[in-house]
Amino acid sequence: MGKQRWKPGNMIYPLPAVLVTCRDKDGQDNVFTVAWTGTVCTNPPMAYISVRPSRHSYHMIKETGEFVINLTTEDLAFATDYCGVTSGRDVDKFAKCNLHKEEADEINVPMIVESPVNIECRVKEVHEYGSHHMFVADVLCVHADEKYMNETGKFELESANPLAYSHGTYFGLTTPKGTFGYSVKKDGKKK
């Protein structure tokens, strides 16, 4: 049995399904789901989100140049889906999903208290590509929930039960299969 040839498309899965928060110049907040997101650069720290211009949050980010990437967990799966399929034009998604706001330190945007990691971002560039526009941003500050720190001070995101998105389905990511560099460790032990 071979592989089927499909038309060009995005099959880079799984992806993080994140909740992005933003605020417009009039102080109206919104939260929406983004799966087209990732790291651009380590030094300087940069991230991106790609957003359809028709999304309610698009104009908010475009006018203020600020947003927060809030990582999601299995406990946030309902909110993650709901915030991706409803519009902030029609409903207060924070209230509907029982998400609590906390003000960011470096930008004028709320963060989600229930998220294990909040990444404050300021837009550096906008690239307008087809169906989505990519907001490339500087990472100004990262907030990590202390309850996921182990006794040595290492942050253990896996204990938050992170959520991923793959081709229309949300998945938990809780079973580690190795650590970075385990395949070339000199002692031959795989950890």
Q: Looking at the domain assignment, is residue 191 inside a domain?
A: no
Q: Looking at the domain assignment, is residue 44 inside a domain?
A: yes
The Cα–Cα gap between 173 and 123 comes to 29
Give me 28's structure tokens. Answer: 């109206």
Q: Contact at 8 Å (CB) between 27 and 179? A: no
Instruction: Write out the DSSP string of 92-161.
Output: -HHHHTTPPEEE-SSSSSEEETT-SEEEEEEEEEEEEETTEEEEEEEEEEEEE-GGGB-TTS-B-GGGG-
For the whole model, what pTM was predicted? 0.92
55 φ, ψ (degrees, to nearest 5): -70, 145
Q: Looking at the domain assignment, is residue 98 inside a domain?
A: yes
| Residue at token pair 């998105």 | 165
Q: 3-state DSSP call for residue 52?
A: coil
Q: Looking at the domain assignment, is residue 129 inside a domain?
A: yes
38 φ, ψ (degrees, to nearest 5): 170, -175
Q: Looking at the domain assignment, is residue 5 inside a domain?
A: no
Q: How many residues does the chain have?
A: 191
Reported as half-sphere exposure (CB side, CA atoms, 13 A), residue 130 has a value of 1
Q: What is the pLDDT of residue 179?
A: 74
Q: Looking at the domain assignment, is residue 89 inside a domain?
A: yes
Q: Looking at the domain assignment, is residue 189 inside a domain?
A: no
- The boundaries of the domain holding residue 61 are 15-184
Quote the number of domains for the chain.
1
Q: Looking at the domain assignment, is residue 163 inside a domain?
A: yes
Q: What is the pLDDT of residue 189?
A: 55
Residue ranges of the chain with per-residue pLDDT less than 50: none
Identify the CATH number of the domain in which residue 152 sits.
Answer: 2.30.110.10
Radius of gyration of the chain (CA): 18
* Peptide bond before residue 14 is cis, with ω within 30 degrees of 0: yes
Q: What is the pLDDT of residue 97?
A: 97
| Residue at token pair 């698009």 | 58
Q: Contact at 8 Å (CB) between 175 and 190? A: no
The Cα–Cα gap between 121 and 159 comes to 25
